[in-house]
Structures are given as structure tokens and as C-alpha cells.
């Protein structure tokens, strides 16, 4: 476990150094917004497209990965939905927990962690997992919240979801990458070199964005952090444990789905915070959950990685 911690420590060093810079120097919101725009609309899409376009993609070969990850997402959403209805959670609380439960930081943190541990060859698999999470969160996840709000007719909700998917640069990059790989098209060397140059900038950029967000988050009262701690433990420990034992029960080898389990163990992503106003979510809870789950993942991620590799 110590060896794994040493391997991923540089990633978290960049995050915490950026957070400290934000605290001490107060670099301003424009830094994080510009870097986030680059990562979301250029850097990560290029990385996803590049890794998939250079791989030998086969739906049959990756069917186990795609199906198992999708089933896990369905199960978590169904569980949160049922618990919310049984406990009769207040709508704002239900929406917040429902959305946050599946928005793991699979792209911004998951891809850097997996490549740091397993090398660049794991990129196509990590990319597919990100695509699965993005697809279901932006369809089923947001679709349920749109329905809960009941502010629109059903066909308008469907059209809104379609528009979200068609405008999502990460999903567009995945579709194009799979298309290029499936057709066996080899991109010109000069194009590949350009893509590689952009790809090299992605990991440090997204880690800095996470750090800047943590650095400008308000601390708040101790009582505000208790439900956040509980949620973080569920996200970092219980969810990946459910996935791990579910795979064992199904007869699959956990090591075959190593990347998928590790992605499930990622902390909360930044995206729910950006969607908080639109869906009436608890922004304070989300912000604290992003901060605390990211901090605690420095302990939980080495545990899961060493448990699966060992």
C-alpha cells in the first residue's frame, strides 16, 4: 500500500499545492474557470479521442466492462431512489444525494490515477468507463431530476437530455474515437503528434483545477461536515465494496475489472456543483463533499489499488 501511495502521491501533491496557492495568493476565479474550460472542452476530449482512436476497439471485447459498470450505476440509482422514497427525504436532499451518488470524478482524477498506476496502455479502458458514467449520468440521472421537477412536459425533458448529450464534448470525443478505431483508420503522424502534445497538458491542468476549487471552498461549521463525512465514506468505501463483492458474486474476476472498480472509488466530481442552481441542490453540502472526499481519497485509493493489484 505504501508503494501505491508513493506512485499516486505526485497527483495529490499538485492538487494540494494548487489549493494552498489559492488560499495564500487568492489567484481569482478566472484561473479555475479558464483552466476548467480548457480541460472540459479541449484537453480531456482530445485525450479521450486520442486514446480510443489508437486502440483496437471491439464492443464484444469490452462487453463485460460496459455491462458491469452500467448495472452498477443502475443499482446505485435505484437504491438511492428507493431509500429516498422510504425515508421521505425532503426534495432538495433527495436530489442532491441522487445526483452526487453517481458523479464520481472518473475523468479529472480517475484517468490520471489509473495511468499513473498502470501506464498509458490502460487509457482506452479508462476512457470507456468515463463514457459509460457520462452517458448514464446525463441521461438517466439528470432525466430523473428533470422529471422530479415536473417543470416541463415529458417530450421536452427527452429533447433537453438529447441536447445535453449532443453538446457534451467528452461524449462526442468518445463516439468519434470509437468510430475511427472501429473503421481501422490511421490518423496522419502530424495529427497524432499534435494530439499527443495537448494530451500531455491535460493531467496537470485538471489536477490544478481540483486544487483551486478546494482552496477557495469555505470551511464552515463542524456540524456541517458530519453528514459530509458519512456521504464520503459511502462513496469511497461502501460503493466500491458493493461493486467488488457484486463482481465476485457474479463469477467475474475483480482483477479483470480493476479499472472499473477503481473508478467507482473516486471522490465526488465538480460537475454537481455546477448543476446545483439548475436543479435546486444543496451547494454547501456538495462543495464540502468534493473537498472531504478528495482529501480522504488519498487514503482510500491506495487501499483499493493495493487490494486489487495484490
Name the 3-class secondary structure at 97. helix
> What is the CATH classification number for the domain harbouring 78?
1.20.1530.20
Confidence of residue 29 (pLDDT cuts 50, 70, 90): low
Confidence of residue 128 (pLDDT cuts 50, 70, 90): confident
pLDDT of residue 150 exceeding 60: no
The C-alpha cell of 219 is what? Answer: 470551511
Among residues of the chain, what percentage have pLDDT more than 70? 94
pLDDT at 1: 61
Please state, rounded to an integer, the average pLDDT across all residues of the chain. Answer: 85
Query: Which of 159-163, 190-194, 255-259 has the highest mean predicted lDDT (pLDDT)?
Result: 190-194
pLDDT of residue 97 exceeding 60: yes
Please say whether the beta carbons of 62 and 256 come within 8 A: no
pLDDT at 149: 63
Name the 3-class secondary structure at 184. coil
The average pLDDT across 16-39 equals 83
The average pLDDT across 94-112 equals 89
- The model's pTM is 0.82
- d(Cα 77, Cα 19) in Å, to the nearest integer? 32
28 versus 86: which is more confidently predicted?
Answer: 86
Q: Which residue segment(s) compose the domain that 144 sits in?
A: 2-309
Confidence of residue 242 (pLDDT cuts 50, 70, 90): very high
Using one digit for the tens of pLDDT, what is the confidence trace for 251-294?
A: 777 777 899 999 999 999 888 887 787 788 888 899 889 989 99
19-28: Cβ within 8 A, 24+ apart: 19/211, 19/212, 19/214, 19/215, 20/215, 21/211, 21/212, 21/215, 22/211, 22/212, 22/214, 22/215, 22/216, 23/215, 23/216, 27/212
Residues 6+ apart with CB under 8 A from 192: 50, 54
The C-alpha cell of 166 is what? Answer: 449532443
pLDDT at 66: 85
Number of domains present in the structure of the chain? 1
Amino acid at each position: 500500500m505504501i508503494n501505491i501511495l508513493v506512485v499516486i502521491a505526485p497527483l495529490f501533491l499538485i492538487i494540494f499545492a494548487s489549493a494552498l496557492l489559492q488560499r495564500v495568493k487568492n489567484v481569482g476565479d478566472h484561473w479555475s474557470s479558464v483552466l476548467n474550460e480548457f480541460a472540459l472542452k479541449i484537453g480531456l476530449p482530445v485525450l479521450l479521442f486520442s486514446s480510443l482512436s489508437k486502440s483496437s476497439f471491439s464492443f464484444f471485447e469490452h462487453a463485460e466492462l460496459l455491462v458491469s459498470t452500467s448495472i452498477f450505476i443502475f443499482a446505485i440509482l435505484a437504491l438511492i431512489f428507493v431509500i429516498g422514497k422510504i425515508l421521505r427525504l425532503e426534495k432538495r436532499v433527495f436530489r442532491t444525494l441522487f445526483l452526487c451518488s453517481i458523479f464520481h470524478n472518473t475523468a479529472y482524477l480517475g484517468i490520471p490515477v489509473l495511468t499513473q498506476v498502470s501506464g498509458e496502455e490502460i487509457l482506452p479502458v479508462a476512457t470507456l468507463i468515463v463514457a459509460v458514467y457520462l452517458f448514464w449520468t446525463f441521461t438517466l440521472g439528470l432525466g430523473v431530476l428533470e422529471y422530479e421537477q415536473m417543470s416541463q412536459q415529458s417530450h421536452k425533458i427527452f429533447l433537453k437530455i438529447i441536447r445535453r448529450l449532443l453538446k457534451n464534448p467528452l461524449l462526442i470525443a468518445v463516439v468519434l474515437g470509437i468510430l475511427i478505431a472501429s473503421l481501422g483508420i490511421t490518423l496522419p503522424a502530424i495529427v497524432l503528434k499534435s494530439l499527443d502534445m495537448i494530451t500531455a497538458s491535460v493531467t496537470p491542468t485538471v489536477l490544478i483545477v481540483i486544487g483551486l476549487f478546494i482552496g477557495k471552498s469555505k470551511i464552515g461549521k463542524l456540524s456541517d461536515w458530519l453528514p459530509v463525512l458519512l456521504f464520503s465514506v459511502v462513496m469511497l468505501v461502501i460503493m466500491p465494496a458493493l461493486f467488488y463483492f457484486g463482481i465476485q458474486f457474479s463469477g467475474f474476476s475483480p482483477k479483470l475489472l480493476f479499472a472499473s472498480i477503481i473508478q467507482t472509488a473516486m471522490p465526488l466530481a465538480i460537475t454537481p456543483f455546477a448543476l446545483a442552481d439548475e436543479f435546486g441542490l444543496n451547494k454547501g453540502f456538495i462543495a464540502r463533499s468534493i473537498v472531504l472526499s478528495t482529501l480522504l481519497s488519498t487514503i482510500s485509493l491506495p487501499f483499493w489499488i493495493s487490494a486489487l493489484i495484490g
